[in-house]
Amino acid sequence: MEIIEGSIVRSIAGRDKGDLFIVLSREGDFVYLANGELRKVDHPKKKKLKHLQGTNSVSDFVSNKLATAGKVTNSEVRKALAEFN
């Protein structure tokens, strides 16, 4: 599955290994991630695609909000991840 904006992914490398994130944007081989708690939307984590595992799940709410408004809040990211779990 292609990793797009709004995708829910799991980190497979680094000190955040095993944590879930939502993709906020993508630039080539890099994505910007947030989870609304330790990684806020204002300061997303830049991570290589090869260090991520897709979950085959996309948060429709986050994806639509990023497409229309261009920004989501930390609480919306936390809610989307909680619904996934």
Domain boundaries, the chain: 7-84
**CATH number 2.30.30 is the correct assignment for the domain at 7-84:** yes
Q: Which residue, chain included where needed, has tokens 């085959």? A: 56
pLDDT of res. 39: 94
What integer best gives the mean pLDDT of the chain? Answer: 94
Of 67, 79, 59, the C-alpha closest to 3 is 59
pLDDT of res. 83: 93
Structure tokens at 12: 């497979």
pTM score: 0.91
**pLDDT tens, residue by residue, 49-77:** 999 999 999 999 999 999 998 899 999 99
Residue type, 74: N
